[in-house]
Amino acid sequence: MQTAIDQFRTNINRARNLGSIFEALDSQTTSVLDLSDILRAELVLAVSALDHFIHELVRLGMLEAYRGNRPRTGRFLRFKVSLENALTGIADNAGEQWIDSEVRTRNGYRTFQDPEEISEAIRLVSDIRLWVKVSQHMESTPDEVKEDLRSIVNRRNKIVHEADMIPSPFEERWPIDKMMVSNAVDMIEKIAEVIYEAVV
């Protein structure tokens, strides 16, 4: 499961690099040049890093449970697999490749960005009370942490699905600044690190 957090750290640093590019360009240009889309890209990439991390953490954790190297949760035992893939895996003596493929297929269309979706995914590999654990490390309440994450994800969705446009006849985008994006990236990083420590 180490590879999941290692990849997350690489991905979150890629997001932060966009913030560094923004700062470098911002210090050398005037406000005539709108650099705000770099910040939007940073936010989108940070949320993507979290989503990918949860996918990988769950996939690797399920493989460990399949091998018997970690406890099998109730959610793990109820995970739906196709009979076709199960029979093929057994007949071909495919080891764990078939379950790896099945987890990728079943979870591949899902996004793990919303707090409830994340906790549902984590229950495939751990019975921890996820947001209680995360909130303890963030010195906050579970509801506050979930609401803050939802706010970040909602902003990401405005950027990705609505071009970050304010619904008005004036064709303006929602305001964004370096501090807001940095705080969001920091929060995403903290959440991922705490989830990793809690699950492994």
**Residue of 143 and 169 predicted with greater confidence:** 143
**Averaged over 45-58, what is the pLDDT?**
98
Instruction: Read off φ and ψ for residue 165, nearest 5 degrees.
Output: -90, 135
Return mean pLDDT, the chain: 94
Other C-beta atoms closer than 10 Å to the C-beta of 27 total 7
Mind listing the pLDDT tens digit for each residue in 155-200? Answer: 999 999 999 999 988 889 999 999 999 999 999 999 999 999 999 8
Instruction: Using the predicted structure, report yes or no on whether residue 23 has a pLDDT greater than 70.
Output: yes
Looking at the structure of the chain, the number of domains it has is 1
Distance CA 97, CA 60 (A): 12
Beta partners for 173?
165
Distance CA 174, CA 161 (A): 13
Owning domain of residue 71? 2-199
Mind listing the pLDDT tens digit for each residue in 90-123? Answer: 777 667 888 898 899 899 999 999 999 999 999 9
